[in-house]
């Protein structure tokens, strides 16, 4: 198999820890994948990302198909030498970006027809072209092209999108088999907020030879209660010996909740996008560093963090950089936030390994979330997710 999942321990809560073995190394789970949408980060060098402890990144097929294009990746031998990253890479198929496009797009059985926002050229993203592009990128893990819709869509509309996702999943598998690249392929469970459809989607996909399974169609309009419920519903129907990936979610508290429900893999743009807006995640809660209250603080951003920003710079200096709109401020906060997420996952894994995740969950949730911080986070996250595409 292109990837292999080794389960190490399942906590009494249902949280689990393991090792994901790939051709680019073996990585502990639960894991968080920083998002390098365009084969790079706005303010971070690959060396800085590596120093945070990240072992696997996410890049986006839709954006990389439009620019720089498949011929560039074929010429450079894939994304790893192109962007100077020696870890693993997972590529999203582009389904969410198609969903988030403005009116000028048409989804048919063949695929998604749209205009490039770079040069206004007509484009088609199909299951076959998505796989071909991901093979050119040469990621360790590819995703099937799915139909992503607003999670509040009625049952009839959700079923239509789900069944097309299933047909596209079969076509994606067939396209993958035409070229032996050694890459893994994950299926994506859909079904919106309709429990019976989630069950049906998982039942259909788990009969197919996928290397792992993602839970898609969440964080697109549903409530937090619905998201947690659908995540739990999906993981209950997925095999124990395959990795489970919750796509595009989310905040530190989101991760704590999803791990509790048996999820192994996560990605989200939130750590770096929130940094650009002046927000830092700490083990004392969410910090909006632009506030005047931090102007005279001479302590580190987070005394529990071991990133070079927390070792060398004060809150007062970071407040100065962000208030002055210096790019260095966004860079420093990005370094810290990405490290915070890796540190969070380390603590989560430690708790699961000793079968004490219930205590870890309570301690971390109490430490990182306060009512005021959660209000700030909800408002900032809503702004962040508007420009995910």
Question: Which residues form the catalytic set?
Answer: 92, 267
Q: Which residues are annotated as a binding site for Zn(2+)?
A: 305, 307, 310, 336
Q: Exposed, middle or buried: residue 227 (CB in 10 Å: 0-12, 13-18, 19+)?
A: buried
Triad 363, 14, 59: Cα angle to 5°: 85
Binding residues: 92-96, 146, 190, 217, 305, 307, 310, 336
* 218's tokens: 């969440």
Can you state the angle between helices 127-137 and 155-177, rounded to 10 degrees? 50
DSSP alpha helices (H): ranges in the chain? 46-51, 61-66, 70-76, 79-83, 95-100, 127-137, 155-177, 195-205, 224-236, 252-260, 270-276, 308-312, 315-323, 327-353, 357-368, 371-386
All residues at 6 or more sequence positions from 163 whose CB lies less than 8 Å from its CB, including other chains = none
Contacts 24+ apart (CB under 8 A), 73-76: 73/136, 73/137, 73/138, 74/136
Tokens representing 58? 């996410």
Cα–Cα–Cα angle for 28, 205, 348, nearest 5°? Answer: 20
Annotated binding site for substrate, which residues? 92-96, 146, 190, 217
């Amino acid at each position: 198999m292109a990837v292999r999942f080794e389960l190490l321990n399942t906590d009494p809560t249902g949280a689990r820890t393991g090792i994901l073995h790939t051709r680019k190394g073996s990585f502990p789970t639960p894991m968080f994948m920083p998002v390098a949408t365009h084969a790079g980060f706005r303010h971070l060098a690959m060396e800085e990302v590596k120093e945070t402890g990240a072992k696997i990144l996410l890049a986006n097929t839709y954006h990389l198909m439009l620019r720089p294009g498949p011929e560039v990746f074929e010429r450079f031998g894939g994304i790893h030498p192109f962007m100077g990253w020696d870890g693993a890479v997972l590529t999203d198929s582009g389904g969410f970006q198609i969903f988030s496009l403005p009116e000028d797009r048409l989804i048919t059985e063949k695929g998604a027809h749209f205009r490039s926002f770079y040069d206004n050229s007509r484009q088609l993203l199909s299951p076959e072209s998505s796989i071909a592009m991901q093979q050119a990128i040469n990621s360790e893990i590819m995703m099937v092209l799915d139909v992503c819709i607003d999670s509040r869509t009625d049952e009839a509309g959700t079923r239509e999108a789900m069944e097309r996702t299933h047909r596209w999943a079969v076509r994606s598998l067939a396209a993958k088999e035409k070229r032996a690249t050694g890459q893994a392929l994950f299926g994506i469970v859909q079904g919106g907020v309709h429990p019976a459809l989630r069950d049906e989607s998982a039942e259909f996909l788990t009969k197919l030879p996928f290397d792992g399974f993602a839970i898609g169609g969440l964080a697109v309009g549903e409530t937090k209660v619905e998201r947690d419920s659908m995540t739990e519903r999906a993981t209950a129907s997925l095999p124990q010996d395959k990795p489970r990936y919750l796509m595009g979610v989310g905040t530190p508290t989101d991760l704590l909740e999803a791990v509790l429900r048996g999820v192994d893999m996560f990605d989200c743009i939130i750590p770096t996008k929130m940094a650009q807006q002046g927000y830092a995640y700490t083990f004392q809660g969410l910090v909006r560093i632009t506030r005047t209250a931090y102007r005279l603080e001479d302590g580190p951003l987070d005394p529990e963090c071991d990133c070079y920003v927390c070792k060398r710079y004060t809150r007062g200096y970071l407040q100065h950089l962000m208030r002055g709109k210096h790019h260095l401020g966004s860079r420093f906060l990005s370094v810290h936030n990405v490290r915070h997420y890796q540190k969070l996952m380390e603590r989560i894994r430690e708790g699961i390994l000793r079968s004490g995740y219930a205590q870890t969950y309570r301690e971390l949730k109490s430490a990182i979330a306060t009512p005021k911080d959660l209000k700030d986070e909800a408002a900032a996250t809503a702004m962040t997710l508007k420009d995910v595409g």
